[in-house]
Every structure is written in C-alpha cells, then in structure tokens.
Amino acid sequence: MTAVEHDPVESARRLAGLDGLSALQAMVAGELPPPPFAVLLGFELVELEEGRVVFAVEPGPQHYNPIGSVHGGLAATLIDSATGCAVHSTLPAGVGYTTTDLQVRYVRGITRDTGRVVCEGTVVHRGRTLATAEARVTAGDRLLAHGTAGVLILPPAARTGSTAPPGSASA
C-alpha cells in the first residue's frame, strides 16, 4: 500500500477554491495531489472536459477477489468516480457533490489479462441540486460494465463544513 504524502482534508480545502473543471485540471497537471484512494487503486485521470471525464487503470493482483478475478468493486468504483467527476467538472468554485445512488451492470469479467481498462463518464442532466451521469467501462472495443449515478449538488457550507470562504482563517 502506498503512503499518503499529503493531508487529504487540506487538499479538499484547496480544491474547493477552484471551479470543478479547473480543480480536475490541476490534479492532472500535478498541481494538486490525487485523492489517496485513486493512488491506492491505481486510477489515472486521462481525459477531461466539461461534463466528461475518462479514467484508466491496469488491473493487477491487488484488484483480485478470492474467486480468481478482478473484484467487481473496481468497475463500480470507476463508474462512481467517472460519474461524480463528470458532474464535478460542471460545478462552480466552492460547490460540492455526493453520490446519492449508483447502478452498475457487469457485462464481462475483468482479469489481469484484460489489459488497460478505461471508464468514460458523462453528464446526462445537471440541475441546481441534482445531476445524473452515466459511465461505460471498456477494454479496447469490449464493454465490460456500465452504470448510472444520481449526484446531489451541495452548497459551499455543506462541502467544507464551514461558511467561511476557502483559504480564510476559519476554513
């Protein structure tokens, strides 16, 4: 397991000062650290535009379950991450989000022989308080899983636990 070399709560505070697209771009550029769980699972954010993101991962032995295949949670987590970040890319600074529901359909198993797996997430609808997004997990031209998510859009005070602007003394 890789050690976390930054305070993820402090990183989240810094991230809250940027609009969603800029925050994700800063992570891709290495200006903000990736979330610790993405490092743990080996996720890489490889494409990004407003309302759309693409993650990639190379399945390895660390992703295996006891029955000899990659745990379905890897695909589910890719879908949750891609749908959430697709919505995040549309949000103004200080506004947060959280997944309200996630539906995953597994189409094919994943093994270490599957090779690089990518997950494209796109926003289907973005309202003031609720968004929906969908994602597809593929390897080459083969569909492995797909899913949808509901995403609750949170006001700034709910995101950081503080009504103070990001970067202020009380934040």
170 inside domain: no
- How would DSSP label each residue in 122-162? EEEEE-SSEEEEEEEEEETTEEEEEEEEEEEEE-HHHHHS-
Evaluate if residue 162 carries a pLDDT over 80.
no
Evaluate if residue 1 carries a pLDDT over 50.
no
CA-based nearest residue to 148, from 54, 82, 89, 90: 82
pTM: 0.88
Residues of the domain holding 50: 8-160
165 inside domain: no
Provide the number of structural domains found in the chain: 1
115 inside domain: yes
Evaluate if residue 141 carries a pLDDT over 60.
yes
Q: At what angle do helices 20-28 and 72-88 cross, to 10 degrees?
A: 130
